[in-house]
Structure 1
């Protein structure tokens, strides 16, 4: 049974085809980009339903089922070393929100697992299945034995660490019941899961969410402080693990969707899986990471140096590196990604339709990493030479971290290269630096969303007063009541003037930052006369608008009535920018194709930026066409409408959904005439003519495979063009007798003339230097059997001219070594040439330049016969020459 069939059977069974007549709402997999400030990526099947379990939102259905895409990053370094770890997996789940409980969950699980394949089940043999329950859960044990008929000896009880679930923080929790499959005596000892979990493989976990957990404790013991008012069910069956059992293979790396990628890696590297452990580890890493990378890119993640982008970049670079370890020096990522799309496409058709974009992003990252390998290797070589020269046997943690963090050099590659040089790496120091960076990143992310406030403070407000009602689409002002006041993350009854404050209201016209749109500013005026200036609005927990600012006057008291009013001019300017973004997005898709889908944006007063996937710069002609197209549609003064409808209706309408965004069953579609239609929760103008003017300012790269367009709209665009006009007039005044349209050519001619003059000056300087080179021959010194020239030339000589002079000198020496220096723009430049005879004696130009450049505070390298480099400290030339001379003497004497 292939993976696509396993997935389809799961959804069909819970949607319509179970004997208990408990139809579930099929919920599509959420994006891997988690809608949760505490999560980088969705890491469990229940994550999209978390607000319902926590009581932060009311579930729109009593029963639900899904097959959720998940990525776990904690075990990335362990992937491949065993056949158990994987970074991407799919979790099949069925969920009950205050509806059926233990009896229903247990009966449904047993029915699907044991029902025959011909009847739509998985066909597991009943006598191969074992179950575990929590040690005190007599209810679950009795259901398994009395109602399902599982023999008592195949029902085992386990403690809190194994069979009691919680989120690790105060909140919902409850006992679990796990279902295991006995793989037989070839896989281990008899005695059930409590004896051997390699032989008895867990396939399904049923969580009975019935309790409330308190503070403290660990996974073996934590306080249970009460019962939930409504009992819930959360279950999870690992699709890949189930596939391994149903396909009769040894592990998850041999199932259909993974093996297809692994086989492609074997083909490209001409290696065979199962030949030796080292090769197998690399092939498993490649198979796992390629699939995960493909799924992440498919959901809109792009490689970067932070957050999700860093996870993606790390996985892609580990993939490429392992391909190189297996002997492939070619560009390989495209073929691997294609095999991943072929493997997963039957389950996720959007991977096929978005294949061109996914390939584009992946290939661009591979090109970037090839450059990283070159620059990183050069830096590593310099650091390794320094360690050896100081008799150190270890590479510092700072060097390893710099290679990893600044240049994207994989740490395990640094380890391997160090071992080849006979060096160790300060791994503990490196891990400490990584942890410090990770802690800073987590703190920054948390501060952005929650302002350093414990989220339980916000949840308590939602629990007591419900969600904030947003009135901002229709109103700029609203009469409200204060439902919460926080200062420095702590609840406050009243706050005086001059204090920073967070205010929660039951109703608000303020738009909270989201979807690329910046938050509204404005004021909150209390009935007692106090005034709060609002400078930011966030939603740290779903449904709660947190107004951040300062108390301007009076005393703010919790529970007071208040009037909230936004800054109308700022809102209008932001709304113009947001509508302009939609129009530019549509125009780019018309010009470049569907792959130019928005991958990020920011809508601020009078300006906006728009990110989209592209492996190369957008031609100026295309930018001009896009700008012309959108401005023509401003003149057409199209109606801008917003309608709320189902996702299916939005798709039928042709509305565009953005990568990485999470949408509910009901979505808001913003339409600019019949032209641009997009799912969006932001604020917009009423007609396109209100935008006035759109001016694209720039187009540039912001990372591998991602381009950014920055633009102005409305009065800001007009002011920019007015300044440009003044500048143009100033240039025509400076360059007399030239019409405006002739300026580009005239300025180009002047620049070309200047460059020609610079070349003439350089040629004169070089001629002088070559003439003086004859005098340098007289300064050559005999060291061993070689003639050595180490001299500093006059300032301002180019690197190419330095090479000419050095080669000229070497040609006049039989066994010659020439090292020359100059200063250009206050920075030292080094060149070294070594004759074939001197190379045989052990002197190499590349080693001379690495040594000298390091002392000069820079880097460089080259071949044995020619190398060049430089640095930033011109005062160190004398010291560099001394060390180079010492090195040469050591080789020749």
Structure 2
């Protein structure tokens, strides 16, 4: 049978998943682009990332055989996107075996799918293996009939972990021969050659080892299979296209923007590159936003912002002067929303996030252009033709101005860019970023020791739902990432118990504090966490005596702290329900912080909350509190829980059995601790509502004792103000309004007086103008209450001079000396520049100055230098006037 070139990308994905389902593989949904419990990477880069806990034996997989189409994002080649094959976002098809089948079956399944299911010609498929992997080479011979000399052995056939440590092993890659016309023409052209002839389409990884941070490899307890095949590349081959951008998965988006910009695709290399960039970046941004990644200046948010800015720049190159990314949103969702249903449910929020950030960057772009033009003008004055690298980096890093755009504009004006200086500045920033990420790698190093404890001792039993005290046994101790048998005061350590009442931080609720008391010592628990699934770790310090592995101890949680935390946690559930009732079902939780002193709740919202919204929400929550609903918990299969209408936390990974917490009409999946009834919350009060990102709002609130203290302080404040104003409490507001009106009137009178005084001074100074090099120059120390009136004085004096002149004024504003320089425009053409003059005078004042050629400001703090600095102004005029 011949290749069916009419297959769409959607159909190819379905064929792959259905094929492996027929081989007893469970179809797994794609995990989020934000990795779950993996600090070593910012974004999901491969289908195997969600499988790592299964490969390492930390978690039990839902099945020994699995298959998925995984959303992936790679940042290594962002600047290359726009060529024929490089993408940031892509889909990875994969099949996985956890301790089940291994090399033979993996190779057999791959061969059957490629040659029988999608009918690729066998003579165009070429496998490669690791030089030392004779076993894989033998299976390729037995299954597919390849002679040994036809199997290429490459040193690169080794798959390493996505972070610094993790599972790894040899791999076998399958290449597709595109034809000699794509080759380099050399006699030894073969898979692995850098030419375009052989295209890698599938990688079969034989996961056999665990790699430590230092590169040491040890055998895994069981051998696993991880394969990855890019859907876009496979679609390109099957559809007979020259580029991944020509497949229906991306060409649909390209055609949409070609229509909008009236730019035909395929006629210009430059415009084709821009259309491809917009298609890839637009698609990537939609998926990032859907998975909760928001623009910021660090981490994932910086990646989001960087690719959005690159997309906007290429849009402008195509003549798009208004926001356009919403077009990408709708096109991507219409194309991929059936498989990735989160795109449909998040459509409005995705559009809002992209539109707001695009609008913000458009303003940034305009600001950057103005700054660049000023920089070029300044360099022109200095007869320089190279833009310093640190200035280019400042535009890029501080203002988000693309380096490529700086280079293009510079070239148009006859300038070049100091690229080496830019790279040095960039490298310094990257070194700072790497230093900030070091804690993540130390955490990965600790995981190995904790995993060994989990295997040896089993999971920690949590008793904290029913009590705050337990009799337990110490099963492990760790100091500085290493297991020890005993600790002595005042050592800091990590303690693992066989069972514990201490709640480990999770779902926004912080961990418990308390004491672990043994026969010979006391350990103060300062934090409780779950570093890996199954283990509860108590972090703190031994305050007295000794503690040993095997000791029988008593664990005590601080009761008041837990009770305050539970009030806030139960209140977040009521808040979530109240927000959805008020704003609509599009409201979704995006994070929370539950601690004894307060609660913080982040949520999606199409608009800010007004005062009426906040009053309604507070009233509703307090009504539910007074209703004293029982707080009920049930353990049930996740499918049953979702059918009850229980709300799940966006992006959270849940087990097959989940804990459902209900109170009144609020039903949520939650593993945290809660009050027995809503009445135990006491009182709820919202103290702040703010925006934290595009489409994301934050509420901070108090309950119980903290809420009572807050309201008491508010009442006491009002009472004190009433006493000061000598009115009753209910008369405070109208009395303050009257006082503000009186104050505003008095300020207007003072301002008018100051302006009149300034005019009088200005008129007198016009008469005192001195002739310097044939032009009138006014230099004076004046009395002005602020910089605005000082600026008005300068403009007034300049306008009243008999001929074009120069005005330099200084005024003592208390903490500093303000400086104003005005130069008539006709004199700026004769070599005088107000900004440079302000710089000279400002420096003499112990400060600085700068501005436009005709108007500038500055200042300093050296009051003794006012008169000498004004004399410098006259000298500047004499020396620079042409």
Moved more, 531-540 or 43-52: 531-540
- 1:726-875 equivalences under 5 Å are 726-740=716-730, 742-782=731-771, 787-799=776-788, 802-803=791-792, 806-807=795-796, 809-810=798-799, 812-824=801-813, 826-827=815-816, 829-831=818-820, 833-835=822-824, 837-838=826-827, 841=830, 861=851, 867=855, 869-870=857-858, 873=861
- The 1:792/1:731 distance shift into structure 2, 3 A limit, reads same
- The 1:877/1:444 distance shift into structure 2, 3 A limit, reads farther
Report how far residue 389 of structure 1 moved: 8.1
1:247 aligned to 2:239?
A: yes
Cross-structure match for 1:8: 14
Report how far residue 844 of structure 1 moved: 6.2
Assess if the C-alpha contact under 8 Å between 1:538 and 1:545 holds in 2: yes
- The 1:747/1:446 distance shift into structure 2, 3 A limit, reads farther
Cross-structure match for 1:700: 690
Cross-structure match for 1:177: 172
Cross-structure match for 2:680: 690
1:187 aligned to 2:182?
A: yes
CA distance in 1, matches of 2:866, 2:662: 66
1:336 aligned to 2:328?
A: yes
Report how far residue 178 of structure 1 moved: 1.6
CA distance in 2, matches of 1:658, 1:879: 67
Report how far residue 23 of structure 1 moved: 1.7
Assess if the C-alpha contact under 8 Å between 1:92 and 1:238 holds in 2: yes
Moved more, 236-245 or 752-761: 752-761
Report how far residue 798 of structure 1 moved: 4.9
Q: CA offsets per residue over residues 549-577 of structure 1, 9 Å max, x none?
A: 00022211123333322222211211111
CA distance in 1, matches of 2:400, 2:842: 23
Assess if the C-alpha contact under 8 Å between 1:511 and 1:537 holds in 2: yes
Q: CA offsets per residue over residues 552-604 of structure 1, 9 Å max, x none?
A: 22211123333322222211211111111122122222222344322221101
1:506 aligned to 2:498?
A: yes
CA distance in 1, matches of 2:637, 2:722: 58
Report how far residue 439 of structure 1 moved: 1.9
Q: TM-score, normalised by structure 1?
A: 0.88
Cross-structure match for 1:88: 89
Pick from 288, 298, 307: which aligns with 1:296? Answer: 288
RMSD of Structure 2 on Structure 1 (CA): 3.4
Moved more, 553-562 or 319-328: 319-328
CA distance in 2, matches of 1:585, 1:861: 51
CA distance in 1, matches of 2:582, 2:814: 44
Q: CA offsets per residue over residues 814-837 of structure 1, 9 Å max, x none?
A: 434445454556355555555454
Task: Tell me the secondary structure at the aligned position of residue 234 of structure 1.
Answer: strand
Q: TM-score, normalised by structure 2?
A: 0.89
Cross-structure match for 2:42: 40
Assess if the C-alpha contact under 8 Å between 1:37 and 1:446 holds in 2: yes
CA distance in 1, matches of 2:434, 2:481: 19
Moved more, 708-717 or 266-275: 266-275
Pick from 192, 199, 202: which aligns with 2:200? Answer: 202
CA distance in 1, matches of 2:539, 2:705: 28
Assess if the C-alpha contact under 8 Å between 2:798 and 2:824 holds in 1: no
Pick from 704, 711, 726: which aligns with 1:714? Answer: 704
- Number of equivalenced pairs: 867
CA distance in 1, matches of 2:310, 2:869: 37
Q: CA offsets per residue over residues 721-762 of structure 1, 9 Å max, x none?
A: 01111111111112223552x433332332232133122212
CA distance in 1, matches of 2:636, 2:839: 65
- The 1:65/1:125 distance shift into structure 2, 3 A limit, reads same
1:630 aligned to 2:632?
A: no
- The 1:215/1:778 distance shift into structure 2, 3 A limit, reads closer
Note the residue ranges of structure 1 that are not aligned, 5 or more in a row: 116-120, 218-222
Task: Tell me the secondary structure at the aligned position of residue 742 of structure 2.
Answer: helix
Note the residue ranges of structure 2 that are not aligned, 5 or more in a row: 1-6
1:491 aligned to 2:511?
A: no
1:537 aligned to 2:528?
A: yes
CA distance in 1, matches of 2:265, 2:809: 53
CA distance in 1, matches of 2:64, 2:209: 19
Task: Tell me the secondary structure at the aligned position of residue 549 of structure 1.
Answer: strand
Cross-structure match for 2:131: 135
Report how far residue 380 of structure 1 moved: 6.1
Q: CA offsets per residue over residues 506-562 of structure 1, 9 Å max, x none?
A: 322222222211111111122x33211101122333322221100022211123333
Q: CA offsets per residue over residues 317-367 of structure 1, 9 Å max, x none?
A: 232233334443323333333333334323312212211111222222234
Assess if the C-alpha contact under 8 Å between 1:132 and 1:163 holds in 2: no
Report how far residue 644 of structure 1 moved: 3.0
Q: CA offsets per residue over residues 422-477 of structure 1, 9 Å max, x none?
A: 55251343133212221232124456x57xx6332222222322332333223323
CA distance in 2, matches of 1:139, 1:828: 81
Moved more, 594-603 or 725-734: 594-603
Cross-structure match for 1:260: 252
- 1:129-168 equivalences under 5 Å are 129-147=125-143, 149-152=144-147, 155-163=150-158
- 1:216-615 equivalences under 5 Å are 226=219, 228-373=220-365, 404-410=396-402, 422-424=416-418, 426-445=421-440, 454-526=446-518, 528-614=519-605
Task: Tell me the secondary structure at the aligned position of residue 554 of structure 1.
Answer: strand
Cross-structure match for 1:64: 66
Assess if the C-alpha contact under 8 Å between 1:803 and 1:831 holds in 2: no
Task: Tell me the secondary structure at the aligned position of residue 67 of structure 1.
Answer: strand
Cross-structure match for 1:24: 25
